[in-house]
């Protein structure tokens, strides 16, 4: 049974890759592709832990999604700057809830036992909320004010978790990256509404976190503005598969981490 499930997952993965490659080629024919060099990140003053959904792949120094950490397979990815835990498709909205489908709260509690108190922890959550759940609710709500409240209430739930973590650690929030532009259904990474529609939700979600977490001295590292064009469409050149950021986006990450003074030496000198 497990073998059949593995084959099914492989088919889904590779069919998604083929579709993305075809779309990527079409996109490149119609858009000027920027010249992007994959940058080597300077050494951080201290190693930073990363806990999150599949978007933590950006911190792993690879363009291949990480295996999911669970109670029977406590896997993580470590390099000279980051120790990365991918806990699966967890929702920002549910991080304070016990016994969810992804067991995100229980997984995080277990991982935190291995992390020294006072450590910096990058949190990467919210992309699934913005791409699917918030989009679904907002499409049904005609009132602009209530649409905004839907986004804010989800962000508040996420902030509740972040503030609870701050008691013993130094959280850093990784802003939700922009969504894909796919004009077709994607079985592996379902979405609702256009890419621009979802990106507006993502932008508002990130900005709400930035405004409100600053009151608690929790920084938000957002690459969003680097990754969209003037129309608000996602620049797919910086993605692996139409959803996750590739190592081509690392130069933007370096810029934002440098602003926070996290490197041992200035990147320019």
- 43 falls within a domain: yes
The predicted pLDDT at position 63 comes to 93
SS3 at position 109: helix
- 246 falls within a domain: yes
Please give the distance of CA 230 from its chain centroid, rounded to a whole number: 22
SS3 at position 181: coil
- 166 falls within a domain: yes
The predicted pLDDT at position 269 comes to 46
- 31 falls within a domain: no
- 265 falls within a domain: no
Domain that holds residue 124: 36-259
Domain total of the chain: 1
DSSP-derived letter for residue 119 is -
Size (the chain), residues:
269
- Give pTM, 2 decimals: 0.87
The predicted pLDDT at position 193 comes to 79
SS3 at position 190: coil
- 96 falls within a domain: yes
The predicted pLDDT at position 44 comes to 97
Sign of the alpha-carbon dihedral angle for 234, 25, 55, 36: negative
Q: What is the pLDDT along the chain (269 residues), one digit of tens a residue?
A: 556 655 555 555 556 566 656 666 666 656 665 555 567 899 999 999 999 999 999 999 999 999 999 999 999 999 999 999 999 999 999 999 999 999 999 999 999 999 999 999 999 999 999 999 999 999 998 899 999 999 999 999 999 999 999 999 999 999 999 988 766 556 666 667 788 999 999 999 999 999 999 999 999 999 999 999 999 999 988 998 888 999 999 999 999 999 999 998 766 54
The predicted pLDDT at position 164 comes to 97
- 11 falls within a domain: no
For residue 157, with 0-12 CB atoms within 10 Å meaning exposed, 13-18 middle and 19 or more buried, which class applies? middle
Structure tokens at 17: 């890759």
What gap in Å lies between CA 71 and CA 168, rounded to an integer?
Answer: 23
The predicted pLDDT at position 265 comes to 77
Task: Give the domain CATH number at 203.
Answer: 3.40.50.1110
What gap in Å lies between CA 100 and CA 96, rounded to an integer?
Answer: 10
DSSP-derived letter for residue 252 is H
């Amino acid at each position: 049974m497990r073998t059949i499930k593995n084959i099914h997952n492989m088919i889904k993965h590779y069919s998604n890759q083929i579709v993305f490659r075809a779309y990527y080629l079409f996109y490149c024919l119609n858009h000027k592709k920027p010249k992007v060099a994959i940058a080597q990140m300077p050494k951080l003053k201290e190693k930073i832990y990363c806990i999150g959904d599949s978007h933590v792949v950006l911190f792993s120094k690879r363009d291949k999604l990480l295996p999911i950490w669970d109670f029977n397979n406590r896997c993580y990815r470590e390099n000279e700057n980051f120790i990365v835990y991918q806990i699966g498709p967890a929702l920002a909205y549910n991080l304070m809830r016990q016994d969810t489908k992804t067991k995100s709260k229980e997984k995080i509690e277990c991982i935190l036992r291995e992390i020294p108190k006072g450590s910096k922890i990058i949190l990467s959550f919210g992309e699934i909320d913005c791409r699917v759940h918030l989009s679904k609710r907002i499409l049904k709500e005609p009132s602009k004010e209530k649409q905004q409240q839907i986004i804010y209430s989800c962000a508040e739930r996420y902030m509740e978790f972040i503030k609870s973590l701050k008691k013993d650690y130094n959280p850093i929030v990784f802003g939700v990256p922009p969504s894909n532009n796919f004009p077709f259904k994607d079985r592996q990474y379902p979405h609702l509404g256009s890419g621009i529609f979802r990106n507006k939700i993502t932008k508002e979600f990130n900005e709400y976190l930035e405004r409100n977490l600053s009151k608690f001295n929790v920084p938000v590292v957002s690459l969003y503005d680097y990754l969209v064009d003037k129309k608000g469409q996602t620049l797919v050149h910086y993605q692996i598969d139409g959803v996750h950021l590739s190592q081509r986006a690392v130069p933007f990450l370096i810029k934002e981490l440098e602003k926070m003074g996290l490197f041992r030496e200035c990147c320019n000198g």
